[in-house]
Amino acid sequence: MTYVIGEPCVDIRDKACVDECPVDCIYEGERMLYIHPDECVDCAACEPVCPVEAIAYVEDAPEDWQPYVAANVDFFADLGSPGGARGLGRQPFDAPFVAAQPRRDTAAG
């Protein structure tokens, strides 16, 4: 199994989690970040550092996060397993479910 990123990350993208990941498996989409389900080694380092509590172990994720559990898989449909997020950089797309969500009104705009 794996850790997943859920709804609170959308349009927030704090990225504190990225610096904690020992295997560089947290990838950046246009509106949120995604944990690669095959590359994550379940170390749990990312979970406590997210200021908006957007990270959970998949089996502990809230029921209404199920579309986000799927989104953390769907995001990689075309990317496959790149083996490292930093080299890839921010992608100009999101998983379809995430792309369809209304924009969050953030202070930063």
Among 35, 56, 95, 98, binds ligand F3S (CB under 6 A): 35
CB of residue 96 vs ligand F3S: minimum separation in angstroms?
19
The yes or no reply on residue 73 touching ligand F3S (CB under 6 A) is no
Q: At a CB cut-off of 8 Å and minimum separation 6, what does 84 contact? A: 24, 25
**What's the gap between Cα 1 and its chain centre?**
15
Give Cα separations from 49 to 21, 24, 85 (angstroms): 11, 15, 18
Q: 67, 10 in Cβ contact below 8 A?
A: no
Q: Does 54 interact with ligand F3S (rule: CB under 6 A)?
A: yes
Does position 43 bind ligand F3S by CB under 6 A? yes
Tell me the C-alpha distance between 38 and 73, whole Å.
9
Binding residues for ligand F3S, total number by CB under 6 A: 27
Query: Is 69 an interacting residue with respect to ligand F3S (CB under 6 A)?
Result: no
Contacts to ligand F3S by CB under 6 A: 3, 5, 9, 12-17, 20-21, 23, 25-26, 33, 35, 40-46, 50, 52, 54-55
